[in-house]
């Protein structure tokens, strides 16, 4: 199988190449693709080195599968061109997520929606993925009435420019700014741009993607997204009101048996998820599991995951693995 990775020189693209190697993803030919300024550069996947090509060249090479992580505008323009050439596209940008004709997939939750007629498949937003991997088992067993979530998001979600800004600020050096304010020793209650309703685009992704992935437009979602000077992953404080009452021991058992979830929850030993431990791992970590004593049928959770892995590259590759397993590609 010919496999193209679009955005191979970016932060998520580099992690995709690592994960393809780690998981021994079966390809006969790897085509790393990036913008014109990166054409001719070398990238590494496993023990092999590959030369970056441009988008037009990549289409002419007729890959069977293309993993896109090159931003929304590139995906809007180029994903249909690859699809028209017979390439199956899994897109990691926001371009196609809310398109009613496109599937928005987290393999642990709704991969069974996929069919051979899907030509462009959308990968959800990083903060949506980790939240829903933790909450989908609760929706299935208890039903969800309402979610209130605050996210504490790694600068790696913004990209290389943000990492450079933080490193410059560590050293006390001036440089290009990814954010409107310093991020070192700070917390910015803004991820992405503000919308007319006063929420940011990131916050509304959590609202809209939750309803689409869980296939339930009645779920209330209120989100606040905060950027913090952390590198290893996103953290989320989640308050979830269920439709049925629950026993905490049952919730812990349910989550610990759910695919893709690792429960880390022991107050006696100060055991709980943290980005420093989630970094480089593919699972979603859940802890601080407790009843909300102010409201019936309501639960508090703390959820952490590596946003470049399960929040982006790993989820994309898991979709591809499912397609192969089900002979859909």
| Residue 23: other Cβ atoms inside 10 A | 14
Cα(155)–Cα(166) distance, rounded to whole angstroms? 8
234 noted as active-site residue: yes
Domains of the chain by start residue, with CATH:
2-124+312-325 (3.40.50.720), 127-307 (3.30.360.10)
Instruction: For residue range 139-194, list pLDDT tens digits in order.
Output: 999 999 999 999 999 999 999 999 999 999 999 999 999 999 999 999 999 999 99
Residue 80's pLDDT is: 98
Cα(167)–Cα(171) distance, rounded to whole angstroms? 6
Please state the pTM of the whole predicted model.
Answer: 0.97
Cα(195)–Cα(200) distance, rounded to whole angstroms? 6
Instruction: For residue range 25-40, list pLDDT tens digits in order.
Output: 999 999 999 999 999 9
Residue 273's pLDDT is: 98
Dihedral sign from CA coordinates of 98, 99, 100, 102: negative
Cα(288)–Cα(265) distance, rounded to whole angstroms? 6
Cβ-in-10-Å burial (0-12, 13-18, 19+) of 107 comes to: buried
Instruction: For residue range 242-272, list pLDDT tens digits in order.
Output: 999 999 999 999 999 999 999 999 999 999 9
Cα(37)–Cα(52) distance, rounded to whole angstroms? 10
């Amino acid at each position: 199988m010919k496999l193209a990775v679009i955005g191979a020189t970016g932060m998520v693209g580099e992690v995709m190449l690592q994960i393809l190697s780690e998981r021994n993803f079966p390809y006969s030919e790897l085509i790393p693709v990036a913008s014109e300024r990166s054409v001719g550069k070398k990238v590494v996947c496993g023990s092999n080195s590959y030369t970056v090509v441009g988008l037009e060249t990549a289409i002419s090479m007729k890959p069977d599968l293309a993993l896109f992580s090159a931003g929304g505008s590139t995906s809007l323009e180029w994903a249909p061109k690859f699809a028209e050439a017979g390439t199956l596209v899994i897109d990691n940008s926001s371009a196609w997520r809310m398109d009613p004709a496109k599937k928005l997939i987290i393999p642990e939750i709704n991969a069974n929606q996929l069919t051979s007629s899907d030509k462009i498949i959308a990968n959800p937003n990083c903060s949506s993925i980790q939240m829903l991997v933790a909450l989908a088992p609760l929706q299935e067993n208890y039903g969800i009435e309402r979610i209130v979530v605050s996210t504490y998001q790694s600068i790696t979600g913004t990209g290389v420019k943000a990492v450079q800004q933080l490193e410059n600020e560590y050293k006390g050096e001036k440089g290009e700014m990814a954010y409107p304010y310093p991020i070192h020793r700070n917390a910015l209650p803004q991820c992405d741009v503000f919308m007319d309703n006063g929420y940011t685009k990131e916050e509304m992704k959590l609202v809209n993607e939750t309803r689409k992935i869980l296939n339930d437009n009645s779920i209330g979602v209120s989100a606040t997204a905060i950027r913090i000077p952390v590198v290893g992953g996103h953290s989320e404080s989640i308050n979830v009101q269920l439709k049925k009452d629950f026993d905490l021991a049952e919730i812990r058992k349910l989550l610990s048996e759910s695919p893709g979830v690792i429960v880390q929850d022991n107050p006696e030993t100060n055991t709980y998820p943290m980005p420093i431990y989630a970094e480089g791992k593919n699972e979603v970590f859940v802890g601080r599991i407790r009843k909300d004593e102010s409201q019936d049928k309501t639960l508090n959770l703390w959820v952490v995951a590596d946003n470049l892995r399960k929040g982006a590259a790993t989820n994309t590759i898991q979709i591809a693995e499912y397609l192969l397993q089900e002979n859909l590609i």
